[in-house]
Structure 1
């Protein structure tokens, strides 16, 4: 079939070859197939160009000529033409070769002429070359001998210079040893193994070479600092000499070891005596402390110079920390009275603990406040006891617990006796790190710098708590006491970290093996198991009870009505309450929260499936948006299958309570998430890196979604019951015909029937509009409009399972009148009468008019009554159909009155 019109396809006299049609077809083809047309850049597909053979042909310029590839490239050429091309190309080559020979022939002939006699001249030049070669060899040998002699002399001088420097180094080592022995009063080398008496630092030695002023008690620390600096220089020189394999260093190594032992012993004795004078039983005054602090600083500097940080920490443990721990932390420390180190009057308040299920619905909750991390900005406190305290110490000060009092006493001791020491050590370490050389790096033991908080304070304190108080502090079998001890201990640790001199000290403390052992002793999984059993058992006990309201007022939207929802909410809030929640168990409590919601959903599903209308409406437990969805109406069975009205009433009360609890639980759970859970739940690194990973809030919404979805089947059941109750008065519609015919007054009715307002009265009673609180009054604000429209539609619309519907009743009335008319007349209706008869008597016509008028009054009264519930009858297709049915009948009556054929 031609795509052109008949006029275009017919040939014309002016265009016998139909060129215009061909041009149009070509243009259409180019538009349809762009590949056949020109490209966008305007280029066209050219026909293949014949390329003759030349030197640029890639197949002829290859090192190895491939016959097959060449023939394939000329596949478009016949053998005769190819032979002709090759002969032409051969002629071209010969012509070029002849031209090349002719061009270079003259130069070639002249070159041969110019080279005559050059051989003899070259032979004459070769003769003196052997003589020159021998002379050059002799000169080269003499120069090499002179160079070797010079190198040997330079090497001897370098060796002498190195030996001289080594001798100077050995002299420095000998002088340093002598000087150190003089500074440390080491006179008799035969007594190197005897221990040094600590009393020597209390009485000036007579063997010292220094003046009595320099050896005075006020300058002991500086004296040892100078000795330490000299000793470090000795070690440096000795290491350089040892690298040269000097036997002298090995011979005097015993002296170096003796110097080290004497210096360490003297330093330990001085440091111990200084600490005893500063933190001993005899409390020094502030003036005396200010005099002792310089000696203490010099001692710490000396320890840092000698890289003997662990020795200094051992002195601190043995002299300061261990005696205090021995007096403070012991087996009966929690039962013994505590006397504060300093006058202190804390604010006292009782600490509530435990999981209470009081008579109130939701017990007063204290939101958990996580411990703040140690800030790197926090530094050492100012000297003195009036400095700022840790914000976590308030929990210890305000508690009457013996453990809190013990921790407070320890904190005051650390603050009083260790703050200055840690500050001095931190400042010395900072200066030392800036000027540390490679030798000091090699001589470090157990890490660089002082670590007093970890190795002194926490090492002794953590071991003492675990060994002496472990059975009372780590009592995981008593969850309330365990939780209180854990909270107090964590506050104590954070307060202790607040007293640290730097953030690095806190990190070292947390990395200490004793800290790891201390954290493991808490047995947090055991605590969680006990809390889990405590929470879950109460929930399971509540779920066994019947799903009935607990008797509370049903008008409040902020309270839970059923004991099951109350138990679930108390369990959910208990997981994140300050009395139960522990940050390290956040992931476990989060999983328990989701499990509780899932358990409540399973219980609700079982309750809803036991309803009488569940089989007609399968439950969809998926995540839906209930507010924007229309509640489906199940097929309503006959009411004869329900035992009694009391059963419906109890079912309404139960479902209304469950729906109200679901809505309250949903809003309360999201509030709990926004205010507490999202703050307490730590964010994982995977969630921060990958935005596509599921978020905890999504998991919570997925857990609440199926619970909210159960509102739909329960709403359907409620609507079904209300529909059946509202449809009961409609049974009076079929009595309109007999009542009107039996009345003596044959006037048209002017008032609707009294039973019309009773159609929607069950709905008003349910929502409490009739004046008293109804069963569904608590759901009035949210579901009044939605359920009223559904019930109104169900009452008016046609139902195959229930005949008690308004349209069905009117249709039944029409069929009854038509049957009566046929019985009286014996003929079928042939006109447009309401009930299909045009041969009725005047009496029958008046009865029909009264029936129609009464139906119209009832329908209009029913529509006005629906507006009181917020229903717009004009938006209901079923009500429009009902009213159109009545209005159509009235129009037919009016037509019969006006028609001239009516009398016939």
Structure 2
């Protein structure tokens, strides 16, 4: 009979109470599923959480989870209470059943352990057998390599012994002339055949030597190989000597087959430098000696005989005549001879040595003109040598050779540019340090299309010098471009600083601005004219010339160059208003001297009985006279455009009008204040004296006369402006 279920200590409720969170709700960092993992580690779990969860919070959450588990356990017992009670009645004689099961399990364990031991013994034996087999294979491989090495050495020695049996020196004088003439096919044909046979044998020996080097590289520490090193070295020396003699003989007689076989032999033993050196000493050196002979003792380096242009032309002819045959052989397609670089390591190397020893002054950048001529001739010579390269990769290889790099290092273009910089920039700087503007001396009247100041002419000449053919080095184009921009900036700063100093009226604080202080308005006409011409030239023909010279560059670089030059041209254009302001200021100052006579109007009509004025004051005719003289002068008409003269007229008239307004307004204001004061004084005197009130007001009349005179003066000034000065 099942017992009654134990009442739950807590009343049943839903997963979510009305006023609380669900019982199984946990923070996001608390994951109860981790506790059921087989590899759960409590210490690691706590260490991970302690970095961002306080211990008190963790303890509280664990207590809550434990209470939840207890509650679930009680619910589970209550749900299956009958099965829980009957569980104790079913667990009868459990110990006896355990004993019965343990015996076969122990027996099975013993059998498994015995089988495992036998398997491990078999595995160890198998591994030992494999290791012995591997060692035996390695020993066999070493033995076979030693045997191969011995056979190769013996074979090489045998083949080398066969070399003297071939009369390779037939054509070198070992056989007398009579014997050679007695040959049926002629001495040349037989000699060629003998050279070819010897070169083929040498190529075969070189191939075997290549195998021998491979064996030695993999077994060089073995005693057997060490004992054979002397034999191998002797064989290598004999091979090098015989190969060198055969190669020299082939070069002297231009035997293409013999040369081809010798080159393949050199390539096989990886000794390309020897072939390149033999060709340099045998063929190239005598040719260069004829072109650039040893100088007489005592000749000073850097003399006039250091030019290289004619020497390069003769060297080109010699290369075409005496070296081209070997270059063609070494560039044969699919021949494997691409490892040779006779252009760099034979031809260029000998040329470099000859120039260094016999014409060292050719590399001197202390004479820029001669240096540039030699440098360009050298670049042309290198381009001629690159013409013998069969492919673009060959050109790249030629340029990466150490001799090519060393040859280019001899030309110190940095020092050359420094000298040109001092020359070009110094010329402009000396012109700009003059204390006054220096007009260009012309035989007759100047042309509006020509520059008028030596400073401007010097700037344009300096800019053009940067890109002259006898100055520019294309590899330094970026430096010459920067120099051009610096020249324009220096000229712009010279003008802007001068204008600023003139405005302040003190040039002592800024040397080089004296010209602006002493310059007359007519001198600034030259400034405006030259600025406009220079800006048009820089943004026009000058820019096109620079872009043409830099045409090999990419489109992005050309765009940046164009933008930088146009920006400098714009900076020049921005200087014209400064010069115009200086002209306007000077003209206004002259006009203000006459305007000061306005103050005399007050003395003329104050407390006097002069009648109301009917004509303008005498000073009016002189106010605009400086402006008129300037605008109608020869310089302004010749060198200023109509638009510029109108701008000057408008600016000067506006400024003069403003000054005139200030003087007139001040004059009228003072007159009215004086009138008001006099009026109060008269009225007080009349009241004290009991005088009649019909006394005439002379103050009012005098003020009206002053205003009438100003009105007439203004009308006359406007008439003069529109009919005598305007265009």
TM over 0.5: yes
Q: 1:266 aligns with which of 225, 238, 242?
A: 242
Q: CA deviation at 1:795?
A: 3.6
Once the two structures are overlaid, the 10-residue window that deviates more, 565-574 or 156-165, is: 156-165
Once the two structures are overlaid, the 10-residue window that deviates more, 569-578 or 256-265, is: 256-265
1:374-433 CA distance string (max 9 Å, x none): xxxxxxxxxxxxxxxxxxxxxxxxxx99632221001111123223322321336x6538
Equivalent position of 1:457 in the other structure: 347
- In 2, the alpha carbon distance for the partners of 1:462 and 1:60 equals 81
Alignment pair present for 1:419 and 2:324? yes
- In 2, the alpha carbon distance for the partners of 1:607 and 1:241 equals 82
Cα-Cα RMSD: 6.3
Q: Taking structure 1 as reference, are residues 481 and 863 closer, same or farther at Cα in structure 2, changes over 3 Å only? A: closer
Instruction: Please report the TM-score for the alignment, with normalisation by the length of structure 2.
Output: 0.67
1:768-797 CA distance string (max 9 Å, x none): 4xxx73436422245223222212223433
Equivalent position of 1:392 in the other structure: none
Q: 2:289 aligns with which of 326, 349, 362?
A: 326
Number of residue-to-residue matches in the alignment = 647
Give yes or no for contact 1:479–1:527 (8 Å, CA) kept in 2: yes
Give yes or no for contact 2:485–2:565 (8 Å, CA) kept in 1: yes
- In 2, the alpha carbon distance for the partners of 1:401 and 1:138 equals 92
Alignment pair present for 1:789 and 2:694? no
- In 2, the alpha carbon distance for the partners of 1:666 and 1:465 equals 46
- In 2, the alpha carbon distance for the partners of 1:102 and 1:521 equals 107
| Counterpart secondary structure, 1:184 | helix
1:45-64 equivalences in 2 (<5 Å)? 50-51=20-21, 53=23
1:584-641 CA distance string (max 9 Å, x none): 5556545554554455456545654664x54499x99xxxxxxxxxxxxxxxxxxxxx
Alignment pair present for 1:656 and 2:525? yes
Q: Taking structure 1 as reference, are residues 600 and 69 closer, same or farther at Cα in structure 2, changes over 3 Å only? A: closer
- In 1, the alpha carbon distance for the partners of 2:93 and 2:23 equals 40
Equivalent position of 1:103 in the other structure: 83
Q: CA deviation at 1:273?
A: 1.9
1:9-56 CA distance string (max 9 Å, x none): xxxxxxxxxxxxxxxxxxxxxxxxxxxxxxxxxxxxxx9951264697
- In 2, the alpha carbon distance for the partners of 1:556 and 1:609 equals 30
Alignment pair present for 1:561 and 2:452? yes
Q: Taking structure 1 as reference, are residues 182 and 52 closer, same or farther at Cα in structure 2, changes over 3 Å only? A: closer
Instruction: Please report the TM-score for the alignment, with normalisation by the length of structure 1.
Output: 0.55
Equivalent position of 2:302 in the other structure: none
Give yes or no for contact 1:329–1:468 (8 Å, CA) kept in 2: yes
- In 2, the alpha carbon distance for the partners of 1:242 and 1:836 equals 121
- In 2, the alpha carbon distance for the partners of 1:140 and 1:60 equals 46
Q: Which runs of 5+ in 1 are unaligned?
A: 1-46, 75-81, 188-195, 205-211, 279-291, 334-399, 434-447, 621-646, 838-843, 870-904
1:525-540 equivalences in 2 (<5 Å)? 526-535=415-424, 538-540=427-429
Q: Taking structure 1 as reference, are residues 588 and 554 closer, same or farther at Cα in structure 2, changes over 3 Å only? A: farther
Q: CA deviation at 1:463?
A: 1.0
1:553-580 CA distance string (max 9 Å, x none): 7864442212222223323322332222
Equivalent position of 1:39 in the other structure: none
Equivalent position of 2:368 in the other structure: 479
Q: Taking structure 1 as reference, are residues 114 and 724 closer, same or farther at Cα in structure 2, changes over 3 Å only? A: closer
Q: Which runs of 5+ in 2 are unaligned?
A: 1-16, 36-41, 47-53, 176-184, 297-304, 511-515, 683-693
Equivalent position of 2:6 in the other structure: none
1:283-302 equivalences in 2 (<5 Å)? 292-302=255-265
- In 2, the alpha carbon distance for the partners of 1:170 and 1:97 equals 89
- In 2, the alpha carbon distance for the partners of 1:142 and 1:790 equals 114
Equivalent position of 2:689 in the other structure: none
- In 1, the alpha carbon distance for the partners of 2:388 and 2:240 equals 29
- In 1, the alpha carbon distance for the partners of 2:380 and 2:169 equals 42
- In 2, the alpha carbon distance for the partners of 1:777 and 1:107 equals 128
Give yes or no for contact 2:199–2:243 (8 Å, CA) kept in 1: yes
Q: CA deviation at 1:535?
A: 3.9
Equivalent position of 1:432 in the other structure: 336
Q: Taking structure 1 as reference, are residues 673 and 49 closer, same or farther at Cα in structure 2, changes over 3 Å only? A: farther
Alignment pair present for 1:224 and 2:199? yes
Q: Taking structure 1 as reference, are residues 129 and 556 closer, same or farther at Cα in structure 2, changes over 3 Å only? A: closer
1:649-688 equivalences in 2 (<5 Å)? 651-671=520-540, 674-677=543-546
